[in-house]
């Protein structure tokens, strides 16, 4: 059984353009994601998935210079299921772990823990979160991805997991518990990037492979208010409103 990690990343962020290649401790954010998951014994390949947009040429250059695998998808940049399905197919994935290029704190042990459960209990879809924490990831079987990919509904193509949630009778699903209440450690805004940089600076002095418990301890000792009031998942919330009006 082949497990492939797909890291979805683009340069054209509205609130923090180019964030996925911004340097943390002299290395781009994408580099840290790969570095923190590469030692997994359960992951066979790691692929960065991006678009054919000119702005994303920089991601391809970064991947090539670091000998990271990359897939560039043609078509609508919001068709995220394409950017999951096609690289999964090309790299012969049986199981797909979906990561995002703005979550540099994720690490392989937390992925492996859920992967083992996913495989043993034969889930079709799993996630490790309720709300965004910065340690987010989703796991799909390739069969599940293919089912979603066949849908023509734009909402499902942009937010693949919503297809699973709306068709629970078709899938064996696992949803994890929220790990860090009321704290968001994804990089959406400059304030987020500053906080993540501070965390890396502090934690790597003590442990290069710091985990979620280390982060919790750090945030208890050094409470941070910079990003708590910033609005999250704006596009997703807007799409949900549109769907509720239609219904």
In this prediction, residue 211 carries a pLDDT of 87
Say whether pLDDT at 4 is over 60: yes
Q: Which pLDDT value is given to residue 90?
A: 97
Q: Distance between CA 217 and CA 222 in Å, rounded?
A: 9
* Res 162 pLDDT > 60: yes
At residue 132, does pLDDT exceed 60?
A: no
Split at pLDDT 50, 70, 90, the class of 105 is very high
Supply the pLDDT for residue 231: 75
For residue 69, the SS3 value is strand
Give this prediction's pTM: 0.92
CATH domain 3-246 topology: Spore Coat Polysaccharide Biosynthesis Protein SpsA; Chain A (3.90.550)
Average the pLDDT over 206-215 and give the result: 82
Distance from chain centroid for Cα 120: 23
- pLDDT-based confidence at residue 241 (cuts at 50, 70, 90): low
In this prediction, residue 204 carries a pLDDT of: 84
Lowest mean pLDDT across 83-87, 191-195, 201-205? 201-205
Higher pLDDT, 215 or 140: 140
Nearest to 219 by CA among 234, 232, 203, 205: 203
Residue 186 has pLDDT above 60, yes or no: yes
Segment 69-94 mean pLDDT: 96
């Amino acid at each position: 059984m082949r497990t492939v990690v797909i890291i979805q990343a683009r340069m054209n962020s509205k609130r923090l353009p180019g964030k996925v290649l911004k340097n943390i401790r002299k290395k781009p954010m994408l580099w840290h994601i790969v570095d923190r998951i590469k030692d997994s014994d359960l992951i066979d390949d790691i692929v960065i998935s991006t678009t054919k947009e000119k702005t994303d040429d920089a991601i391809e250059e970064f991947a090539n210079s670091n000998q990271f695998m990359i897939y560039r998808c043609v078509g609508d940049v919001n068709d995220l299921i394409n950017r999951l399905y096609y690289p999964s197919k090309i790299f012969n994935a049986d199981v797909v772990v979906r990561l995002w290029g703005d979550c540099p704190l994720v690490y392989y042990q937390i992925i492996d823990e859920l992967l083992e459960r996913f495989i043993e209990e034969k889930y079709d879809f799993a996630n490790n979160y309720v709300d965004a924490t910065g340690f987010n990831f989703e796991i799909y079987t390739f069969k599940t991805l293919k089912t979603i990919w066949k849908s023509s509904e734009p909402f499902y193509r942009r937010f693949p997991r919503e297809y699973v949630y709306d068709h629970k009778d078709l899938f064996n699903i696992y949803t994890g518990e929220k790990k860090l209440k009321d704290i968001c450690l994804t990089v959406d805004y400059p304030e987020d990037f500053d906080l993540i940089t501070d965390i890396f600076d502090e934690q790597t002095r003590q442990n290069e492979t710091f985990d979620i418990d280390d982060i919790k301890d750090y945030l208890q000792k050094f409470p941070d208010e910079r990003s708590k009031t910033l609005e999250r998942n704006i596009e997703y919330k807007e799409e949900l409103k549109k769907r509720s009006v239609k219904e």
